[in-house]
Structure 1
Amino acid sequence: MEMNQYTAVFLDESREHLQAVNDHILKLEKEPHELALIEEIFRSAHTLKGMAATMEFADIASLTHQMENVLDSIRRGQLAVSTEIIDSLFLATEALEEMVEAIGAGQDGKKDVTALVGRLEQLEAGEDGPGASQSDGEQEQPALDELQTAMAAEAEKEGFFPYQITVTLSDDCVMKPVRAYMVSQAAGELGELIKTVPAAEELEAGTFDASFILFLLSQATVEEIHDAVSGVSEVMQVEVIPLKLTDKAANEENSQEETAATQVEEEAPAGQSATRKSKTIRVSLERIDDLMNLFEELVIDRSRLEELARLSGNNDLEETVEHVSRVSSEMQEIILQMRMMPVEQVFNRFPRMVRGLARELEKEIELDIAGAETEMDRTVIEEVGDPLVHLIRNSVDHGIEAPAERLQAGKPEKGKLSLRAYHSGNHVMIEIEDDGAGINRNKVESKAVENGLITTEQAQDLADEDVYKLLFSAGFSTADEVSDISGRGVGLDVVRNKIESLGGIISVASAPGKGSKFSIQLPLTLSILSALLVKVRDETYAVPLTSIVETILLEEASIMDVHGRKMMDYRDTVIPLVALREVFDVPGSSPEQKSQPVVVVQKGEKRTGLVVDSFIGQQEVVLKSLGSYLGDVFAISGATILGDGQVALIIDANALMN
C-alpha cells in the first residue's frame, strides 16, 4: 500500500487510541461496574472506526464497530462485564494493533476478523437476544449513535423525518438475504437508510433471525412506508415508528453550548482572548533525527572553534566563541529533551502480557508499575523492550509461585510483580522485582557444575551474588521442562548482552522465600556522550566515561606477569592489563616514561586496565557509525571528529573485557 499524506496521522492517532483502549480494559477488569471506563473505551473505538472507515481500512472498521455494539450493550445495562468479555476485547485490541502495525509497514492492513466479529456478536446477543427482558420499550430497541442522531436532526430541518422500521420475515422464508435486500431497496426508494440492525454485511450473509430493523430518513408517511415494505414477498410483519430526535438533539446542542460558554468564562482571564491555543504539535521522529544530526555537526564545529580561538589569542574572538559554546550547550539540552520519551512507551505492553502469562500458568499476579513517566532517549527505549520482556517472563514463570504453594508458604495467594523506573544521575534505573520464592542457590550451583561453568569446589567458595551471576551465562536455564515461556536456554544471557551493548549494567539480588530483584542501569542517551580522550602513540582514542572507574599512573614495578599475561594490583585484587597499542596495532613508538598511564574500565563486576601513552582530557563527543564499508571493527563502537579536525575512534570497553 502506498503511504499517503494522511496515513502517518492515522497511524499516530490509532496507536494512541489503541493504547487507551488497552489501558482502560485493564482497569475495567478490576472495576467492572465503572461506566466511565466503558465510555472511554467506546469513545476510542468509535474514533478509530471513523478514521479507519475514512481511510477505507474495512477490517479495522468492521471489528471496532462490533466492539462498539458490545460496549453499548454494557453501558445500557443489557450486558455485564465478564472474563469472557474482557478476553474478547483484548483479542480484538490485539488484532487491531496487528492491522495498524501492518499498515505502518506499508501493507494493506487486511486481516480475517470474521471469527472475532462472530465472537463479539455472540456476546452481544447473550443478554439482549430472544427471551431477554423487554419491559422498557425504549431500551429494547437499538439506538442511533451521535453522528446518526445529528444526521437525523439535520434532515428534519429539510423535511425528512426519521423512522424505525422493524421487519419480520415468515418462518418458512428460505432466502433471507434476498428478502432483506428487497426490503432495504423498497425502503431506500422512499428516502435514505442510515442504519441497519444487524449490520448490512450480516443482512447480506443471512446471519440473522427472522427480524431486522431499518432506520430511514424520509418525507413519506408511516402508511406509505408500511405499504412499500409489506409489499415484499415473505414479509410477515412490518412496524413503522416515527422517531422524535429534534428535541433531544436540540437539548444536546444547547448543553454543549452552555458547557463551552462555561469553559470560556472559567478559562479566559479578563481582557484576554477566550480562544484556547494548543501548546503541543506533532513532529515526526525523522525530523527530530535530522535536527539531531545537524546539531551533531555543530558540536564538532564548536570544538574546532574553541581550539582555533585558543590558538589565536584574540580575546574578543575567545569571548564570542565562549558565548556560542554556552548557547549551543543549552540547545543541546533542549534537543536531547526533544528526543526523550517516557519509558511508558515500553511499559504499556506489559500489563496485558503479564495477565496472559498468569492465566496460562494458572497463577494470580498483580503488576505494579511506578515511574512510567521517567524519560530517556528514544534510541535506548527502542532497544530495551526485549530484555525487559525476558526478565518479566522469567519472574512470572520462575519467580512467583502457584497460588497453592504461596498459601502453603504463608503468603497471599496473589503474587506481586513490580516494575519501576527512576533517574539516577546521568542514568535511568529500571527494576523488576517479585515477591516469589527467590533464586534457589543449590539448583543454580548444580546446573552450573553440570554445564561445566564451575567445579564443585569453586561452588562452595562462591558468595550468593556470584552464584546469581551464573544465571547470565550463555545457554543457562534452571527450568525442568521446556515450554513456550521458558526453559530453552535462551533469555538472561541475551538480556545481559543487550544491556551491555547499550552501555548499561545489570545486577540481581535475591532472598530465599522472599523474592528477587533485577536492576538495570542505562545511559540517558547514546548519541552525544562524555568521553576521556587518550593518546596511543600517534593516534587519539575516546573512552566513554560511563565505562571508566578511574585513571591512574602505574609504576613499572607494580606490573606483574601471571601466566604470560600482564596484570596489576588494584585495590586488593589483581586485574588484567590491556595495551591498546598492541590491540589496535598502532604504528609509531611510545614515549619513554617512568609511570604508565592506565584507564581502569568496568563491565559489571569485571575490571580491566587499559594501558595508554597519555591522557588528553574530558570532552563531549558525537558518536558516529563507521558505516557499512568498514562494518564491525573489534572493540570500536564508532568514531568522532575532534576540534582539530582529526578523527578519533571510540573504544568499546565491554568488547575488550570479553
Structure 2
Amino acid sequence: MNPDEMRDASLLELFQLETRTQVQVLNNGLLALEHDPTSAAQLEACMRAAHSLKGAARIVDLHPAVRIAHAMEDCLVAAQEGRLRLQADDIDALLLGTDLLQRVATPGAELGGEIDDLVVRLSNAPAVAPAPPRAPRPSDFLPPIQRFEDEPASARTQPSGRTAATSAAPTAVFTASSSAAPPPASTPTPPPTTPPAQAATRRSSDQGIFEGERVLRVTADTLNKLLGLSSETLVESHWVGPFGASMLRLRRLQAGAAQALDGVRGALAGQHVDARAQAALDDAQRIVEQCQQELAQRTNEVDEFGWRMSHLAQRLYDTALACRMRPFGDGVGGMPRMVRDLGRSLGKQVRLEIEGDTTQVDRDILEKLDAPLMHLLRNAVDHGIEMPMDRLDAGKPPEGLIKLSARHSAGMLVVELSDDGAGISLDRLRIEVVQRKLTTADTAARLSEAELLEFLFLSGFSTRGEVTEISGRGVGLDVVQTMVRQLRGAVRIHQTSGQGTRFVLEMPLSLSVVRSLLVEVQGAIYAFPLAYVSHALQVRREDIEQLEGHQHFRFMDRQVGLVSARQILRGGEPAPATESVAVVVVGDHDKRYGIAVDRYVGERTLVVQPLDPRLGKVQDVMAGALMDDGTPLLILDVEDMLLSVRKLIEAGRLTRVDGAGQVAQTRRRKRVLVVDDSLTVRELERKLLVNRGFDVAVAVDGMDGWNMLRGEDFDLVVTDVDMPRMDGIELVSRIKADAKLQGLPVMVVSYKDREEDRRRGLDAGADYYLAKGSFHDDALLDAVEDLIGKALT
C-alpha cells in the first residue's frame, strides 16, 4: 500500500467514525421530530449532522454519501424555514437516509438505485408556502468567511431545496479498491441566499471532524494488560511499609547502642582513662549520633516515598480502570430507532425513553448487554405493548412507552427495562405450566407470583401460541438469563396486570474488578462475588434443624439447606462446634443454599486475575486476585459451587456443618483495627500485634476506618490523630456517639505528647492515649492487653 492509499484508508476510517456519531444524532433527532415536527433545537441538530456528513464525505471523495447527506440537509433546511412540515413519510425517508449513509461508509457496499430513489423521494416531499422574509440582522452585512474547499453554489442554493439533487446524474458507489467518479460539473447560479451567519454555522460543523477530541485506538487486550500491571503496581507499593518498619527497628537498635555507650561513659567516670581510649570512645559516640540522624532522615524519606508511591499507584490503577469505561448511551443509542421500527411493523405506536445514558459501564459488559436488551425490547414491543385501539379502550394513550435506565447502586450496575403494557397473565401462565407438565395443577395453584414468573426463564418456554419472526420460539428470556449470568449478574422480573412489566438486571460495574465478600475457610481466604450473595448472616446453633438427613435453617419463611464450605472447597475436617455459624446465602428460590464459613473477613473490591489456561477449569473457582498486602486468594464460581452441592446431595455424601453433636466453646483471636496514614507506623503496629497473636486489620485514614467499623466487628481500635479525610479525634467521637460502637475501646497513638493534646483525645472518648515519642514494643502491647486482655479468649 503506497502512502496515498494509506492516507485514503485512514481518512475512510475517520469518516466511518464520523458517520457512526452523526447518524446517532440524526436517529435521535428524527425520532424526536416525529413527535414534535417543529422543534427548532432538533431541526438544527439534525441539519448540522447532515451538513457535517456532507462535508466529511466530500473530503474522502465519497460522492454517493454527499448526495444522500445533501438531500437530507435540504429537506431539514426546508423544515427549518417553514417551507415543509415533516410528516411520517418524511421521517421514514430521512431514517432510510441514515441507513444508506452507514452502508455507503462500508467498503464494497452495493446500493444500486436506492440512492436515486431516496433523493427523488425527499425531493417530492410536499412543500408549504415560503416563510415570510425576516428583518435583516447586523451579522447579515458581515463579509463571508473564506472556507476550506468551498462547495459549489449550485450544491448549496436551490429555490426548492431539491432541484439540483434530482437533476444530478447517478454517482458510482464508493469502494475501497476504486476511486469515485468526479461530481458532475455545476452551472453558475446567483449568489447564495443563505444568510452569512447561517453559512458560518454550517462551516463550523464541517470542521468537527478535525477539531474533535483526540482519539487513540487501543485494543481491549492492551487495556486488560494495562489494568493488570497497574493492579500489580498497587500491590507492590504496599511492600514499602515493611521496609520502613525494618528501618524503625534499626533505629531502636542504634538507640540501644547509644545507651550502651552512655553506660560505658558512666562506668568510666572518675577513673583514669587512657587518652587514646577516650578519643576512641568519643569517636564511637559521634559516629553513632551521626548514624542516628542519618537513619532518622532516611526513615522519614522512605515513609514519604511510600505514601507518594501508594498514591500514584492508586491513581494509575483508577485511570487504567476508567479507560475501560464507556457511557451507557454508547451501547444503546440505536435502540429507540429499533423499537420505533418494530412497533410500526406490528401496527403499534411505541416510544423508548433512555435514562442514565451517561452512566459509566465497562466496555465488555456494554457489548455483551446488547443481545439481552434486544431480546427484552422485542418482547416488550411484541408481548407487552397493546394495539392502539386496545390501549384507548383501557384508558391509556395510543402510544406505548418503554423505559430503559441504568444506574450505579452499592457498587453494582442496575439496568431496568419497563413498559406500560398489559403485563403478564398469571392465570394463562399457570395453565401453560401445567400443560407442559412442568408441575401439577395443585402445585401451580399454590405458587407465588415470583415463583410462577421464574418459569418464563426456562429454555423453550413461551406463552405465545404461534411462532413469528419476532417471538414465540421460547428462547428469548432463557438467553437473557444465560447471558446475564455469564456477566456474573442476575435478572429479576416484576409485573402488574394491566399496567406493565419490569425487568431488573443487576451485574458488576466491570468484569475486570469485582466487589466481593471475603470469608475464611480453614485458614484460607476466599471471595464470593456480591452479585451472587443474597444475604450474609449468623445462624444460631439452636435454629439449625435436621430434615431428611440434611441440615436446614429457616430464612425468609423458607427452609434453606445448610452446606459446609470446608467440604466443598477443602475436603477437610468439619468446623468445630460454636454458638453460631457464619452463613453466606447464595442462589434464589428453590436453588438457594446457605454456605457455612469459618468467619467473615469483610467486603473488598478485587482486580480479577484470570487463572493460567494450562490449569483448565478449576472446580468451584472463577479466577484469582490479590489482597492489598499481596496475599493471593481465589474468587469463587458460585454457579459451579451450587452444582457441586447438588452432586454431594445426590451421592449422599453431604456432611454436617460441625463435627460435634453438642455445642463446644472454642477459642478465638481478638480483632484489632489499626488506623494510621503512615505506612511505616501502620505496618509496625500490625506486625507487633500479629506476633502477639491478635487478628489485625488496617485502615489508611479515619474515613477508611469508619467504613470498616460499620461493616465488621472489632475488639479494639488503635488510631493516629493527624490523618487526611477524617482525623483520629473525629473518628473517636463518631465511635462513641454510635449506639452500636460506643462500647468499643479506642486507643490513640500520636506524636503529639503535650498534656493538652492528651486531654483532647481523652475528652473525645479515647480509653488510652500513647505518645509515639515514648513508643516502644512493650508499651503498645501492654496498653492493648490492659484494655482488652490477651489475644485468645
Normalising by the residue count of structure 1, what TM-score does the alignment of the two structures yield?
Answer: 0.71
Task: Look up the match of 2:186.
Answer: 215
Q: Distance in 2 between matches of 1:468 and 1:604?
A: 13
Task: Look up the match of 1:97.
Answer: 102
SS at match of 2:432: helix
* More deviation, 631-640/321-330: 321-330
Residue 121 (structure 1) aligned to one of 99, 119, 122? 119
Q: Distance in 2 between matches of 1:595 and 1:83?
A: 71
Q: Is the 8 A contact 1:430 1:519 kept in 2?
A: yes
List per-residue Cα deviations over 1:373-397 (Å, max 9, x = no partner): 2223223222222222222221211
**How has the CA–CA distance of structure 1 residues 95 and 347 changed in structure 2, closer, same or farther, with 3 Å as cutoff?**
same
Q: Distance in 1 between matches of 2:451 and 2:246?
A: 52
Task: Look up the match of 2:233.
Answer: 298
Task: Look up the match of 2:110.
Answer: 112
List per-residue Cα deviations over 1:482-535 (Å, max 9, x = no partner): 111111101112212222332333222222222222222233223123334444
Q: Distance in 2 between matches of 1:524 and 1:629?
A: 28
List per-residue Cα deviations over 1:568-598 (Å, max 9, x = no partner): 44465322234444445x4666665546854
**How has the CA–CA distance of structure 1 residues 428 and 202 changed in structure 2, closer, same or farther, with 3 Å as cutoff?**
closer
In the TM superposition, 1:111-260 aligns within 5 A as 111-126=109-124, 150=150, 198-201=167-170, 215-216=186-187, 243-245=189-191, 252=196
| 2:347 counterpart of 1:362 | yes
Residue 215 (structure 2) aligned to one of 259, 278, 282? 282
Q: Is the 8 A contact 2:78 2:84 kept in 1?
A: yes
Q: Is the 8 A contact 1:534 1:614 kept in 2?
A: yes
Q: Which amino acid aligns with 1:601?
A: V
Q: Distance in 2 between matches of 1:629 and 1:446?
A: 49
Q: Distance in 1 between matches of 2:339 and 2:151?
A: 44
Which structure shows the higher strand fraction?
1
| 2:96 counterpart of 1:83 | no
* More deviation, 316-325/418-427: 316-325
Q: Distance in 1 between matches of 2:417 and 2:465?
A: 23
Task: Look up the match of 1:463.
Answer: 448
Residue 8 of structure 1: CA displacement? Answer: 4.7
The runs of 5 or more residues in structure 2 that have no matched partner are: 133-145, 158-163, 174-182, 205-210, 250-298, 644-793
**How has the CA–CA distance of structure 1 residues 499 and 511 changed in structure 2, closer, same or farther, with 3 Å as cutoff?**
same
Q: Which amino acid aligns with 2:641?
A: L
Residue 93 of structure 1: CA displacement? Answer: 1.6
Residue 415 (structure 1) aligned to one of 389, 400, 417? 400
Task: Look up the match of 2:701.
Answer: none
SS at match of 1:503: coil
Residue 53 (structure 2) aligned to one of 43, 48, 53? 48
Residue 435 (structure 1) aligned to one of 420, 432, 455? 420
Q: Is the 8 A contact 2:416 2:504 kept in 1?
A: yes
Residue 635 (structure 1) aligned to one of 607, 617, 620? 620
Residue 452 (structure 1) aligned to one of 414, 437, 458? 437
Q: Which amino acid aligns with 1:41?
A: C
* More deviation, 50-59/414-423: 50-59
List per-residue Cα deviations over 1:418-442 (Å, max 9, x = no partner): 2233332322332222222221010
Task: Look up the match of 1:374.
Answer: 359
**How has the CA–CA distance of structure 1 residues 528 and 487 changed in structure 2, closer, same or farther, with 3 Å as cutoff?**
same
Residue 576 (structure 1) aligned to one of 537, 561, 567? 561
SS at match of 1:367: strand
SS at match of 2:468: coil
Q: Is the 8 A contact 2:71 2:165 kept in 1?
A: no
Task: Look up the match of 1:478.
Answer: 463
SS at match of 2:51: helix
Task: Look up the match of 1:600.
Answer: 584
**How has the CA–CA distance of structure 1 residues 252 and 535 changed in structure 2, closer, same or farther, with 3 Å as cutoff?**
same
* More deviation, 329-338/469-478: 329-338
Q: Distance in 2 between matches of 1:641 and 1:485?
A: 46
Q: Which amino acid aligns with 2:332?
A: F
**How has the CA–CA distance of structure 1 residues 517 and 572 changed in structure 2, closer, same or farther, with 3 Å as cutoff?**
closer
Task: Look up the match of 1:227.
Answer: none
List per-residue Cα deviations over 1:34-92 (Å, max 9, x = no partner): 46544433432333244344445565455435544554665676655232222122223
Q: Distance in 1 between matches of 2:475 and 2:244?
A: 54
Residue 608 of structure 1: CA displacement? Answer: 2.0
Q: Is the 8 A contact 1:547 1:653 kept in 2?
A: yes
Q: Is the 8 A contact 2:389 2:398 kept in 1?
A: yes
Residue 623 of structure 1: CA displacement? Answer: 0.5
**How has the CA–CA distance of structure 1 residues 151 and 52 changed in structure 2, closer, same or farther, with 3 Å as cutoff?**
closer
Q: Which amino acid aligns with 1:25?
A: L
Q: Distance in 1 between matches of 2:172 and 2:609?
A: 60
Task: Look up the match of 1:176.
Answer: none
Residue 23 (structure 1) aligned to one of 17, 23, 28? 28
SS at match of 2:95: helix
Residue 331 (structure 2) aligned to one of 325, 331, 346? 346
How many percent of aligned residue pairs carry the same amino acid?
29
**How has the CA–CA distance of structure 1 residues 361 and 593 changed in structure 2, closer, same or farther, with 3 Å as cutoff?**
same
Q: Distance in 2 between matches of 1:382 and 1:572?
A: 39
Q: Which amino acid aligns with 2:584?
A: V
Q: Is the 8 A contact 1:437 1:514 kept in 2?
A: yes
List per-residue Cα deviations over 1:12-31 (Å, max 9, x = no partner): 32211111111111122223
**How has the CA–CA distance of structure 1 residues 51 and 630 changed in structure 2, closer, same or farther, with 3 Å as cutoff?**
farther
| 2:8 counterpart of 1:10 | no
Q: Is the 8 A contact 1:569 1:575 kept in 2?
A: yes
**How has the CA–CA distance of structure 1 residues 571 and 60 changed in structure 2, closer, same or farther, with 3 Å as cutoff?**
same
* More deviation, 382-391/312-321: 312-321
User: Across the two proteins, how many residue pairs are aligned to each other?
Assistant: 549
Task: Look up the match of 1:33.
Answer: 38
Q: Which amino acid aligns with 1:459?
A: A
Q: Is the 8 A contact 1:601 1:653 kept in 2?
A: no
**How has the CA–CA distance of structure 1 residues 549 and 202 changed in structure 2, closer, same or farther, with 3 Å as cutoff?**
closer
**How has the CA–CA distance of structure 1 residues 553 and 213 changed in structure 2, closer, same or farther, with 3 Å as cutoff?**
closer
The runs of 5 or more residues in structure 1 that have no matched partner are: 104-108, 137-145, 154-160, 165-194, 205-211, 217-241, 261-277
* More deviation, 67-76/333-342: 67-76
